[in-house]
Structures are given as structure tokens and as C-alpha cells.
Structure 1
Amino acid sequence: INVFHRASQNTFGPLTEIRNTFERIIADSPVPVGIVAGEDPILVEELLDDIVAMGFDFISLYGHFMPASLVERRDITTFFAVNSDYSLEEIRHLSQSFFGDILELSIIAPEHYGKRLSARDLAKYNYIATHAVAPTVVPTQKLVYPSDVKSLYRTGVSAVMVGAICYGRDPEKMRQVIKSFRSEIDRL
């Protein structure tokens, strides 16, 4: 909510505009449901109680958008996201800290979105994952194929968050791609 999603080129408005959609998703989903709650720590803080009351399982925010009060909340799981502006040293420190339950590795620079996943990317994920205390999640900011799951697993990351770069906007393609990723994960 209250955010522009660079990878999909979508803008999401305030919670009041899409609350009913979220409530249906949460009610119908057999898996945990999370939310990216925006880019303004003050507004995020104002919305936290509503987000928890709606039944979201987790909240994902870049560390620089995460209000300090969220660090101590235990009624929702937090994804502490880092981007390409964070140094590897800062990420290594954060990966060993208490600031989030899960570390989201959104470390690809925007000008490289959609390009093919490289061995260098895997090496960076490996460096962070081997130092991390918290589980690490890699969003597909680059073009990642289901056949890359084994290599990602070998880096030590805990999960892959498959997104728009991999499946576009077509719901049928989304289903097919996610099913293919699931199949590769099940082979591990």
C-alpha cells in the first residue's frame, strides 16, 4: 500500500481503497499473507494496528521505511528489506541483528532489474546468507528460472519470492511459473 512497485510498474494506493480486496485474499488464502506497507514510517506506524487486526501474517518494509516501534512488536512477523543502497558490511551486520524476523535481500540495483540472474548475484546472496542469523528471502528482481532454484538453495538463502519479473501480468502464466518453481523446490 502507498507504494510504487518498480518491478511491476504498479502503484498501490491507501489501505482504505483496497481493504476489501485484502480481506478477501486473507480469508481465502491457504498460505501466509503479507503486505508492503508503504514508504513513509509515520504512515506505516499509524496503520500497524489495522494491518495486524486484518490478519496479515507478515509485513515487509525496507529498513529505512520501517518505524522503530515495529522492531519490538511480536504480533506480526517482520521482513526487514535491504536494497542496493545498503553496503555489504551494513547488510552483514543487519543479518545478525534483531531488527527483523526475516531478511529480504532486495539488493539488485534498479538498472539491473529484469536482467538474467548471474553467478555474481549468487555469490552476494551466499555471502549474506552464510553470515545471517535470520532466514533470508530473495525476491526475483532479476530473471530467475525454475532451474535456478537449486543454485539459489546452495547459496543458503531460505526462500525465493517469485514476482512480476518472472511471470509478468498474465494470471495463467503466473500459475504456470509458480507451479514450475514449486516443482523445482520439491525436488531439493
Structure 2
Amino acid sequence: MSASLKHALEKNKLTLIVSLPENRWDLAQAAMQAGVDAIKLHVNVDHRASGNHFGSVHDYKEVFRRIRGEFSGPLGIVPGGSFDQIKRDEMDQIIDLGFNFFSVYAHHQPSWMVELDSIEKTFAITNEYPFSQLGKVKHLGISALEASIIPGEEYGSPLTFKDILAYNALVQQVDVPVLVPSQRKIETFDVPLLYRAGVKAIMLGAIVVGHTEESIKAAISSFREAIDSL
């Protein structure tokens, strides 16, 4: 039985997630070997940070089955890059393939997705979401919030204390764990401060891990060591 995201977030001081730049077995294997806690994949998305286009669930069924067969941790997916790209039949396939959770921007997420059984629900917000509109969401069936709050034109720049203040404020605003994706070029020395701000997971994407087996393994290994040292 694969672990749930909720269990990982409750058990770990800080959970280490990788958002893979491509849906490839070799990249997933490198992440697993480096000690990642959870893996996130994508379908139906033009992904800004990685520069890649992701096709439909059908295009990746075999690699998804292989990753699920070899990885016992939480496996997540971004099911679409817009409201129109998220399909009920594909969500059924995603659940059948053994994914534990989905992550999607709230403004892209059809309301019916919140009622899906057998998969955990997380949602993402942008810098355009006023924190005052957020609050208790656990009772709506939400497991976590992804704080994708860095403007696109600032992707890849260093983390600032202003960012820490924003994450800290968001943690205090909601009643579910806050996940921070590496829209900034997060460094290992940022880990203790993110932890003290109350962040429950760091999600490393292409900006930090790169696009190769070697770069993914090196980045995850260094963050694994930093998190284990907390």
C-alpha cells in the first residue's frame, strides 16, 4: 500500500517532493534513489518552469504504471493546465493508476473534483490570490495548499526574506499544510528558515533540479541531507 500525502506531511518534519520536468522513468528512478519522499507528475499542461508540454494520461500510462509499481511514497499529478483541460474520464484513469493526490490551481479546478473519492486534494494559489480570501479549508476535503505565489517573471531568482514572510503569513492563515514549490532558486541553506516559517513541504522543480538524471539526483540528495539535519 502506497503512503498518503497526508501521512507524509504529518510524519515528517519537512517533506521533500520532486516535480519532475518530464514524465520519464529514468528521472523518477533518480529521484527515488536520492531519497525523495513524494513525486509529482503532469498531464495536459504547458509547463512554464520546465518549458515542456505534457500530453494526455493515455500518452504516459506505461511509465505511470512503472513508477507506481516501484515507488511506495505519495504520487501526485497536475491533471491539466486550465479548467477546460481537466476531464472526468482522465481523473478516473488517474485514480485507477494509483495516484495519491492531485494538485491544480484553484481557478482551474472544477468543483466536482473536490468530491472525488480515493484521491487526496490539494490546490495551488498564485500571487493574485488575496490571503484574506483564504482560511479554513480542511472541512472542504483539502489536504494541502501549494503556495505558487512568485510572479512568473521572477522565476529562478533567489529566495528573499519577503518570501519567507509571505509563506509564514499563509501558514498562519490556513488550517492545512503549506507546500512551497521552487519557483525561486531555493538553496539548501534556505531549508531551516522555511521550516521555522511553518512550511511542511518543499517541492523541487526544474529551476532547482534541472532536467537530467544526474542533476536531479544531486539536487535531491543535497536537500535530503539538509532536511535530515533539521
TM above 0.5, one fold?
A: yes
Aligned residue in 2 for 1:119: 161
Deviation per CA, 1:62-85: give whole Å up to 9, x if none. 111111112123410111111122
Tell me the percent identity.
Answer: 37
Runs of 4+ in 1 over 2 A off after TM superposition: 39-46, 92-100
* RMSD (Å), alpha carbons: 1.6
Aligned residue in 2 for 1:60: 103
1:59-78 to structure 2, matched below 5 A, reads: 59-78=102-121
Residue 167, structure 1, aligned to residue 198, structure 2: no
Q: With CA pairs under 8 Å and 6+ residues apart, which has the higher RCO, 1 or 2? A: 2
Asked whether the equivalents of residues 32 and 57 of structure 1 are also in contact (C-alpha less than 8 Å), the reply is yes
Aligned-partner residue type, residue 101 of structure 1:
S
Asked whether the equivalents of residues 136 and 175 of structure 2 are also in contact (C-alpha less than 8 Å), the reply is no
Structure 2 SS opposite 1:93: coil
Asked whether the equivalents of residues 52 and 76 of structure 1 are also in contact (C-alpha less than 8 Å), the reply is yes
Unaligned stretches of 5+ residues in structure 1? none
Q: Distance in 2 between matches of 1:94 and 1:41?
A: 24
Structure 1 SS opposite 2:87: helix
TM superposition score normalised by structure 2: 0.77
Candidates 38, 43, 48, aligned match of 1:6: 48
Aligned-partner residue type, residue 123 of structure 1:
L
Deviation per CA, 1:9-52: give whole Å up to 9, x if none. 11101111111111111111132111110034353333221111
Q: Choose 113-122 or 169-178, whichever is displaced more.
A: 169-178
Q: Number of matched residues?
A: 187
Candidates 101, 104, 109, aligned match of 2:143: 101
TM superposition score normalised by structure 1: 0.93
Shift of 1:160: 0.4
Unaligned stretches of 5+ residues in structure 2? 1-42
Asked whether the equivalents of residues 44 and 67 of structure 1 are also in contact (C-alpha less than 8 Å), the reply is no
Asked whether the equivalents of residues 131 and 173 of structure 2 are also in contact (C-alpha less than 8 Å), the reply is no
